[in-house]
Structure 1
Amino acid sequence: MTRALVVPRPGDLHVARAADDGPLRHGEARVRVAHVGICGSDHELLAGTRDPAFVRYPVVPGHEWSGTVVELGPGTDPRLLHRPVVGEGFRYCGECSACRRGETNLCLAGYDETGFTRPGACADELRLPARLLHVLPDDADLRAAALIEPAACMAAAVRRAAPEPGERVAVVGGGTLGLLATQLLAAVSPAILLVVDPRPRPAAGPSGATEVATPEEAARRRGGFDLVLETAGARGTGRLAVTLARRGGRVVLAGLNGGVDDPIPPAELVAAAVSVHTVFGAPSRAWSDAVAALADGRLRPLPLISDEFVLEDAPRVLGPDAVLPVGKVLLHP
């Protein structure tokens, strides 16, 4: 019997026997799930606070995952069988103008994503189009690889930021996203790499940061950075990112603030002459970047993992009384 963690409606989750989804169709693959990362959006899914346009109940959550291919449908590359993989979440069409530009995360066919509108990886097995798979090195650590999805989002942000060696760089947010971004940015050899977070973050140093500061301490360095990447999505973090950038500097906003009304006044943007960019998820090329960074050692996710649970313990992680740990939590079916 295969199992799945099901959220039939907001506030309700349980482990159940997975529904029989029939034989694989043309171009599909089945993956035995090794590890699943828990994201803040999974908590929103259970709480019912996620935008209705980005969820379809009942749903099996799980969009950050790693595993091994155990079955292939017709029309797939036989070399995928038994390979360790991760997989893109967005079910893009591959035919619209956005997809043809390489912006597969902005597919015009409409939002459709594993773990939100399609069954996710909080299960023994996951079925998905084989074209979404990215093959890992045979010796890849599948615990670390479960963080490829958030790393791909940060790879997309770093691509947009276009960092150059010797620049002064700040990352606003010292959570998992911020520290993954810090690792990727450290590989570019910035002169300064500051992580801004209100909490003590012992992992910031090993992630490549040269300095760590609280938001209050960082605010005293207004205009001191060529590039600022915001990953926290908390009240005031977007505005802090803009104020930290020098005049004519660059800001990339990657954090989601959950609908908090926290505007950045246009007058401040105009006066600072900063370039502000945003990212939503990760296109295919950013996934390739993240997989390559894991393979060559630029990306080191293991120190960011704080807790691991079996699937049946999911209510301890996602339930209404769950105490959120500082680091990344993994489930392993």
Structure 2
Amino acid sequence: MGRGLGEARSGRGRPVTHEAVVLEGPGTWRLERQATEDPESGEVRCRVDAAGICGSDRELFDGNRPPGYVRYPVTPGHEWAGTVEAVGSGVDPALVGRKVVAEGFRNCQTCERCRCGETSLCTAAYDETGFTRPGAFAAYVTVPARLLHLLDDEADLRAAALLEPAAVVASAVMKGAPRTAERIAVVGGGTLGLLAVQLLAAYTPGELALIEPRQQRAQQGRQFGATGHLHPSEAETQAGRFDLVVETAGAARSAALAIALTRRGGRVALTGIPAPGAQGVDPVALAMQQTTVYGVFGAPSAAWSYAVRAFGSGVLDPAPLITHELPLSAYDKAVSLVGSGDPGVGKVLLRP
């Protein structure tokens, strides 16, 4: 569906209705025409240009997401970029027309973690765009203005739709604190892994290895700055070699592998979320090796700012990761592509 189609407008040009995906429950969805509401106080309504689909959206569709992290029925879509079209009271009207992305977590701003700047650790009840609130698999999405991050006027909004996963990777990189000339490894060559390679390459590591079984992804990793590639079956020969390892695969053995690759006193950032039954980590080995392990779930505001700056400066270029762009009406097809195992499937976008 082309941009601007699928919506009705009033005589003054104000959208009256628009199309949105509604997921009633696992595997049951419809494309629905909804009223286009004006934003409330403190909110903005954005026209969605592109919205990415990730593994958590596949979980949502399949019904595998933990009950506390979803509220059906819901319009999914937490990775998106668009343009501000209307603002509620108390919001700067100069935002209208600006290209933006927005944080998904509806953090409370008042708990101790939020006030310390760790907004992704908010202790209030979980609340996130696309999971408990209407998301961006729609022509429009409404979010609190305080969650916006502004983009340059010339920004590619297709590529900017990947800034949510980029912010997650930025959080991992910030925690891992890479240093010039260090030996660094990235476990996993999916979207997160290849974005991590781009960000880490900017620190001029002495070595940047990508652990990934798919040759096509490994080649792309080299184009993004990886200096070498190892198949996971070969990686164990490099145990204890790396100063920093960023794990992004979320496979059954990837966390244990990441820790095994790390030198004594090294650092590990875990971003992948494996299915139940993943290989555990030996706490004795962690203590004896004095390994520092960071967990990453979502991204705080600071990581979003970092990712947006990297994107605006050209350090981060997510566009080559996009392989499929589909209309809202092909939502189920788009979801089926994610996690299909097809090496030709990279980032899948919905284009309202």
TM-score normalised over the length of structure 1? 0.97
Aligned to 2:3: none
User: Counterparts in 2 of 1:40-51, with a 5 A limit?
Assistant: 40-51=55-66
Aligned to 2:309: 292
Counterpart-to-counterpart distance in 2, 1:261 and 1:323: 20
The CA deviation string for residues 270-308 of structure 1, in whole angstroms up to 9 with x for no partner, is 232211111110001100000000000110101111111
Please state whether the residue corresponding to 1:2 is helix, strand or coil. Answer: strand
Deviation (angstroms), 1:320: 9.4
Deviation (angstroms), 1:267: 1.9
The Cα RMSD (Å) is: 1.4
Counterpart-to-counterpart distance in 2, 1:160 and 1:233: 18
Aligned equivalent of 1:69, options 68, 77, 84 = 84
Aligned to 1:261: 278
The CA deviation string for residues 38-92 of structure 1, in whole angstroms up to 9 with x for no partner, is 0000000011100001000000000000000000111001221100000000001
Q: Which moved more, 1:242-251 or 1:265-274?
A: 265-274
Aligned to 2:245: 228
The CA deviation string for residues 141-175 of structure 1, in whole angstroms up to 9 with x for no partner, is 00110000000000000000000000000000110
- Give ranges in structure 2 of 5+ residues lacking alignment: 1-16
Counterpart-to-counterpart distance in 1, 2:278 and 2:181: 35
Letter of the 1:305 partner, please give it.
Answer: I
Aligned to 2:347: 328
Please state whether the residue corresponding to 2:82 is helix, strand or coil. Answer: strand
Q: Which moved more, 1:74-83 or 1:310-319?
A: 310-319
1:36 touches 1:122 (CA, 8 Å); kept in 2? Answer: yes
Counterpart-to-counterpart distance in 2, 1:260 and 1:141: 40
Counterpart-to-counterpart distance in 2, 1:300 and 1:322: 22
Aligned to 1:133: 148
2:18 touches 2:36 (CA, 8 Å); kept in 1? Answer: no
Counterpart-to-counterpart distance in 2, 1:97 and 1:63: 25
1:62 touches 1:120 (CA, 8 Å); kept in 2? Answer: yes
User: Counterparts in 2 of 1:189-208, with a 5 A limit?
Assistant: 189-200=204-215, 201=217, 202-208=219-225
The CA deviation string for residues 204-242 of structure 1, in whole angstroms up to 9 with x for no partner, is 112111111111121111111011110111011001001
Give the 3 Å change call, closer, same or farther, for CA 286–12 of structure 1 in structure 2.
same
Deviation (angstroms), 1:324: 5.3
1:14 aligns with 2:33: no
- Give ranges in structure 1 of 5+ residues lacking alignment: none
1:91 aligns with 2:106: yes
Deviation (angstroms), 1:322: 8.3
Give the 3 Å change call, closer, same or farther, for CA 323–262 of structure 1 in structure 2.
closer
Counterpart-to-counterpart distance in 2, 1:320 and 1:195: 24
Aligned equivalent of 1:239, options 239, 253, 256 = 256
Counterpart-to-counterpart distance in 2, 1:314 and 1:73: 30
Counterpart-to-counterpart distance in 2, 1:110 and 1:223: 39
Letter of the 2:351 partner, please give it.
Answer: H
1:23 aligns with 2:26: no
1:250 aligns with 2:273: no
Give the 3 Å change call, closer, same or farther, for CA 323–238 of structure 1 in structure 2.
closer
Aligned to 1:173: 188
Aligned to 1:318: 335
Give the 3 Å change call, closer, same or farther, for CA 321–108 of structure 1 in structure 2.
closer
The CA deviation string for residues 82-109 of structure 1, in whole angstroms up to 9 with x for no partner, is 0000000000111111110001111111
Deviation (angstroms), 1:319: 4.6
Q: Which moved more, 1:204-213 or 1:171-180?
A: 204-213
Deviation (angstroms), 1:321: 10
Please state whether the residue corresponding to 2:304 is helix, strand or coil. Answer: helix
Letter of the 1:209 partner, please give it.
Answer: A
Give the 3 Å change call, closer, same or farther, for CA 108–38 of structure 1 in structure 2.
same
Counting matched residue pairs gives 332
Give the 3 Å change call, closer, same or farther, for CA 315–29 of structure 1 in structure 2.
same
Letter of the 2:134 partner, please give it.
Answer: P
1:37 aligns with 2:56: no
Aligned to 2:198: 183
Give the 3 Å change call, closer, same or farther, for CA 319–178 of structure 1 in structure 2.
closer
1:90 touches 1:105 (CA, 8 Å); kept in 2? Answer: yes
2:50 touches 2:82 (CA, 8 Å); kept in 1? Answer: yes
Give the 3 Å change call, closer, same or farther, for CA 106–322 of structure 1 in structure 2.
closer
1:315 touches 1:322 (CA, 8 Å); kept in 2? Answer: no
TM-score normalised over the length of structure 2? 0.92
